[in-house]
Structure 1
Amino acid sequence: MNIMRASPIQLFEYGPFTIRRMRPGEADAASNASAFGPLAIVDHMQLKSGARIAMHQHVNDEILHYVWRGSLFHEDRHGERTPLSAKKIMLISAGEGVEHEESAPIVDTEMLQIFIRPQQAGGEGRVQFMARPQGIVEGAWTLLAGPQGEAAPLTLRQRVWAWDIRLAKQAVTEAPCRPGLAQWLYVAEGTISVGGERLGKGDALSDGLNRLPPIEASRDAILLCLLVDLQAPATLAGQISGH
């Protein structure tokens, strides 16, 4: 199994923002190359109350915004604001361009921004939302995003699937899996044991095309599992995830 530990060398701070950047599949976190197919970058972000990222543009990247603590406001170029939280997830399929502003005006916020390279560059930019009033489901994996035709709430322009779960202490589960797809498991909160290895907040685990062992929560945990087609074609034209 390949474990990526949360490391201080991945961390950088800028004013009210703290970001830890991981490039899945890398043995060397300081490297610039991605080694997990189209899954390119995972940014674990903490925003202090009052943080604001001014209007900016994304091109080509598929960006899953996953908030589990606090709330983040997305504002489009027309001034329409949408709050994101554990009850609402956002996917930006940037294509030829999507402009938006992000802010955390009310409370401190913790979230992931997951950058996925689409199969092709270009196409109409779009923003999708998934609402779930109950928040993160305890004890059952929830499908968040997947390719077109997979009946996922959010549609990705790539052969990547995203799932999440809230796992109570001592509960056991198995990560979602499909033949021919690699699992990438991320610990957003808590502590878990997998195959005799202990993983804490910010750690990630993968094992190529081998199925991961059962997962047991040592503490209450929030987990994300991404299933990735490592051989899927992907453009390198992503504004952030590509060149």
Structure 2
Amino acid sequence: MKTIYYPENERGKNDIGWLKANFSFSFGPYYNPEKISFGALRVLNDDVIAANRGFGMHPHDNMEITTIVLKGALEHKDSMGNTGVINAGDVQIMSAGRGVTHSEFNPLPDEDTESLQIWIYPKVRNIKPRYDQKSFGDSIKHNTFTTLISPDASDNALVLNQDTTFVRGSFDEGKQLNYTINTPGNGAYVFVLEGRVKIEDQLLNKRDALGVHDTASFSIDTLSATSLLIIEVPMK
């Protein structure tokens, strides 16, 4: 098993007032040649968006984009004709394919929105753009992982144009979690949303991450009440 440690305090940061962004990988004003991607995982932006502010219409192509709202809400509009609000507990996916434009806006009058935007390289390029959204608020159970995205829509999960699996879960202190790689050859990016865990001999605190690869499974020990997001991606 091989690992890559991504400490929170080494993330890129950009504060422009209405947007406070944290970049796990090189993005926009942040560039680190050692942090371009983890396998097919290209972007993980951890954003705080002020009330009544957001991103105007902007283009994407040939990227698999996932938005997870942790707190608050985001209003989405795109060139495919989709409009709607992504609330906390919702997951939105968008296959940009051969090209799409969209906007994201915090519609709340007096509350910040906290969200993750995750980009993964596609399995097939230049496909017809596609959009989907699902609420997982009622299906997430304590002390177990819930599958948000899978390659084959198992467990009523969303599907991206890539052999990727996303799972999320909240756990009590003192649990040993065993994670098995779903797609042989994939690696897993373990992102600590809250709490403190240990994987092998590596301690991880809030917003730290560990890339794990060249293994079929690994264990996670929770050292406090913990919330985790695991993103499994092809390494080649």
Which of 113, 135, 151 does residue 147 from structure 1 map onto? 151
Which of 133, 136, 159 does residue 132 from structure 1 map onto? 136
Choose 115-124 or 29-38, whichever is displaced more.
29-38
The CA RMSD over aligned residues, in Å, is 2.5
C-alpha displacement at 1:213, in angstroms? 4.2
Q: Partner residue of 2:126? A: 122
Q: Partner residue of 1:235? A: none
Please list, as runs of the form range in 1=range in 2, the aligned pairs for 1:1-243 lying within 5 A after superposition: 1-7=3-9, 10-23=12-25, 30-31=32-33, 34-77=36-79, 81-106=83-108, 107-134=111-138, 136-148=140-152, 153-178=157-182, 179-210=184-215, 213-231=218-236
User: Deviations for 1:170-208, whole angstroms, at most 9, x for unmatched residues?
Assistant: 333223423432121111222222223321122111232
Which residues of structure 2 form unaligned runs of 5+? Answer: none
Residue type of the alignment partner of 1:227: E
Match of 1:214, SS state, is strand
Residue type of the alignment partner of 2:72: G
**1:163–1:198 CA distance, 2 compared to 1 (3 A):** same
* Residues in 2 aligned to 1:127 and 1:141: alpha-carbon distance in whole angstroms: 24
User: Deviations for 1:40-92, whole angstroms, at most 9, x for unmatched residues?
Assistant: 11111111222211122221110111112222221234875422233321001
Please, what TM-score do these two structures have when normalized by structure 1?
A: 0.82
* Residues in 2 aligned to 1:9 and 1:183: alpha-carbon distance in whole angstroms: 18
Would you say how many aligned residue pairs link Structure 1 and Structure 2? 227
C-alpha displacement at 1:23, in angstroms? 2.7
* Residues in 2 aligned to 1:180 and 1:164: alpha-carbon distance in whole angstroms: 21
Which residues of structure 1 form unaligned runs of 5+? Answer: 232-243
User: Deviations for 1:205-236, whole angstroms, at most 9, x for unmatched residues?
Assistant: 123212564223333222111222213xxxxx
* Residues in 2 aligned to 1:46 and 1:110: alpha-carbon distance in whole angstroms: 5
Please, what TM-score do these two structures have when normalized by structure 2?
A: 0.84
* Residues in 1 aligned to 2:214 and 2:203: alpha-carbon distance in whole angstroms: 21
Match of 1:118, SS state, is coil
Q: Is the 8 A contact 2:74 2:105 kept in 1?
A: yes
* Residues in 1 aligned to 2:72 and 2:14: alpha-carbon distance in whole angstroms: 21
* Residues in 2 aligned to 1:167 and 1:62: alpha-carbon distance in whole angstroms: 28
